Structure 1
Amino acid sequence: MTNPAEEKLLVTGATGLVGSQVIQRALELGKPVTALVRSVEQASFLQEQGVELIEGDLTRPETLQEKLSGITQVVHTAAKVGDWGKVDEYRQTNVTGLMNLIAALQEQCSLKRLIHISSLGVYAARDHHGTDETEPPHASGIDGYTLSKIEAEQMLQQQSIPYTILRPGFIYGPRDRTVLPRILERLQSGQFAYLGSPEKLMNNTYVKHLVDAIFLALNQEQAVGQIYNITDVTLVSKREFISTIAEQAGYKSPEKVVPLPVARHLAKLLEGLWRLLGKKQAPILSQARIKFLGLNLDYSTLKAQHELGYAPQTTYQEAMSETIDWFREHQKLPG
């Protein structure tokens, strides 16, 4: 067992939603933390907080040489995210990038634990009612991001390193720069519509609950080699999820519903047209978005609760209130 005083934590994706929150928690715990960043200049705000910065690019292994010495723990949050684009573009960062990181760690240091952030999206695109970690990933007919997450998990499981895989659902919280801003824009414009029944459950995961799970997994030996689903445990319906965002942001709660068969048909047509036109941005409706907003996404977190002691304390309403307050404070609310 590593002496806590000798531990050296590395966080990848340090300027993103999850990575920045992991760093904040580490600093609050008085834990020395190092961040792998592509540009020291753009991450200077982390340096001002006492974070050691290492400049490197996961897709360029030569930039990692002789820079990771002494690292004992890694929280790997860096990823190319999205629901549109070529699979190889996602693989380059999410699979090859992880492979490059592992190779550099094995060459330079004595790694005690690597926490890899994956996704509940690796499961089949169907309604889920308590699906647990015994169900294997389903790689058929999914987007490049999700496929690359499955491949990254499979690659990691073949390595002789002490890893733990966490599969969160939709991660929300202060500093979100991807999905929640798009939801807010649609709500503000009045163009948001539910896909199928609004009463189906979300796989909501407050970022600070995910950070709780990360630090629990970092410090428990039985977590080595394990995979854990991570959500808020107390899930909310799509209607409650979206209407809470709307109300707290000061927008009208949406009522429009597009029947799921109609949404699937439109998504298929739009995806075909977008590919034909070579568009770089995702269409307004896609199979990936139907998976996110049209299905019942209830996954079991009992394994994390029993083995890690994972026990989220913040309610969805409290968590989203804090999130919207952050957006408002940083002038990121549309309108």
Structure 2
Amino acid sequence: MPHTVLLTGATGFVGSHVAEALVRRGDTVRTLARAGSDTAFLEPLGVTVVRGDLTDAGTVKRAADGCDVVVNCAAKVGDWGHADGYRAVNVEGLRNLFDAVLGRPLHRFVHVSSLGVYAARHHYATDETEPLPNDHIDGYTQSKVEAERLALQYHRKQQVPVTILRPGFVYGPRDRTVLPRLADRLKERSVMYIARGRYALNTTYVGNIADAVLLAIDAPAATCVGEVFNITDGEFVSKRRFFETVADGMGLKRPRGFPPVPVWLARLMANWREGVFRRQNKPHPPRITQAQLKFAGLNLDFSIAKARTKLGYAPRVLFDEGMKRTLEWYKSPGSAPTKAG
């Protein structure tokens, strides 16, 4: 049965793919987009655009009117800046979304979180029973932990039918941020392996996330409401394999074979540089941060057994095919970093 869906973040990377998937199967999609946001990709899909911001409670309430499903893909992302800047969107904006649907008939509220909520340490098949830390390494991950707790609070106290998805490192067509930056680093020859690049990266193809969102909407309430699910490609991809696949696909030299930096030394360097930059009130992060160390130097292996069992999630696109599609888009005319969507 088709739904009327309020989708936040539809002008962004993940949200644009979710919008496509929803429209493709016949749902009516409405999105909230800030003034000046590029909606050219969404208009041919027939997505209704309500201009406004998650931080404006009145606009959020108007956008939610008549919707029976909410999918929250909107987020302020980054690895630098005070936590309050991230909370304004990722926590208080989410609160506005919940308040907008209280007392209305709602089929499902899908909140897209992140595997970044887990502690910044090595992970080996970590599942959803792992408790989350109270204090995190940066403002973004701190706010995402707080957002999840808020979502589960609205489920427990207000009976909002919430399902939380935690994707890992997201890649795919229309990535206008991470892949272009990585390409620049590869061109500069500044990518270095930590621990020889042997640790796992929690790769998640963007189309697989869109599939998981549809499953979370459609699954019986008894199996998914009030639940949290890890979402990845379900495949071991080492940091070295990732970097070399990108370099080869772009016709760039692979990262040089410097003596591998041990994790403990990289952590000391990141802590020192972050401290210096904070004391100097730098508006931008140093070249190495705790978040970058986690991406490049920690084993990020998470179990998706719960999603497979309860949601029926089965990743359709694995890394080689997903990266092939990603690089084809990236190298196409008019793509990153300005292509809409």
TM-score category of the 2 structures, normalised to the smaller one: over 0.9
Where do 1:2-151 residues align within 5 Å? 4-5=1-2, 7-39=3-35, 42-106=38-102, 109-151=104-146
> How much has 1:180 moved relative to structure 2?
2.1
- Distance in 2 of aligned mates of 1:172 and 1:323: 7
- Look up the match of 1:228: 229
Contact 1:40–1:54 at 8 Å: present in 2 too? no
Cα deviation, 1:197-222, whole Å, max 9, x if unaligned, reads 31111100000011111101110121
Contact 1:70–1:110 at 8 Å: present in 2 too? no
- Look up the match of 1:308: 311
Gaps of 5+ in 2: none
> How much has 1:178 moved relative to structure 2?
2.3
Gaps of 5+ in 1: none
Aligned residue for 2:71, secondary structure, equals strand
Where do 1:245-324 residues align within 5 Å? 245-254=246-255, 255-256=257-258, 257-324=260-327
- Distance in 2 of aligned mates of 1:35 and 1:294: 37
Cα deviation, 1:47-97, whole Å, max 9, x if unaligned, reads 232111112211121322433211001110000000110000000000000
Cα deviation, 1:26-52, whole Å, max 9, x if unaligned, reads 122122211111137732442232111
Q: Which amino acid aligns with 1:146?
A: T
> How much has 1:179 moved relative to structure 2?
2.0
Question: TM-score normalised to the size of structure 1?
Answer: 0.94
Aligned residue for 2:197, secondary structure, equals coil
Q: Which amino acid aligns with 1:166?
A: L
Contact 1:122–1:139 at 8 Å: present in 2 too? no
Q: Which amino acid aligns with 1:268?
A: N
Contact 2:83–2:143 at 8 Å: present in 1 too? yes
Contact 2:61–2:97 at 8 Å: present in 1 too? no
Find 2:336's aligned residue among 329, 332, 335. Answer: 332
Cα deviation, 1:109-164, whole Å, max 9, x if unaligned, reads 32210110111111111111111000111233411100100000111111120010
- Distance in 2 of aligned mates of 1:225 and 1:104: 19
Aligned residue for 2:196, secondary structure, equals coil
Contact 2:205–2:318 at 8 Å: present in 1 too? no
Contact 1:124–1:139 at 8 Å: present in 2 too? no
- Distance in 2 of aligned mates of 1:279 and 1:238: 29
Aligned residue for 2:32, secondary structure, equals strand
Aligned residue for 1:48, secondary structure, equals helix
Aligned residue for 1:285, secondary structure, equals coil
Q: Comparing 201-210 with 134-143, which one deviates more in the overlay?
A: 134-143
Q: Comparing 55-64 with 80-89, which one deviates more in the overlay?
A: 55-64
- Look up the match of 2:204: 205
- Distance in 2 of aligned mates of 1:41 and 1:252: 35
- Distance in 2 of aligned mates of 1:291 and 1:90: 19
- Look up the match of 2:152: 157
- Distance in 2 of aligned mates of 1:322 and 1:139: 38
Q: Percent identity?
A: 46
- Look up the match of 1:218: 217
Contact 2:32–2:63 at 8 Å: present in 1 too? no
Runs of 4+ in structure 1 off by over 6 angstroms are none
> How much has 1:177 moved relative to structure 2?
2.2
- Distance in 1 of aligned mates of 2:58 and 2:135: 34
Contact 2:35–2:51 at 8 Å: present in 1 too? yes
- Distance in 1 of aligned mates of 2:203 and 2:286: 23
Aligned residues: 328
C-alpha root-mean-square deviation of aligned residues, in Å? 1.5
Contact 1:40–1:53 at 8 Å: present in 2 too? no
> How much has 1:18 moved relative to structure 2?
0.7
- Look up the match of 2:242: 241
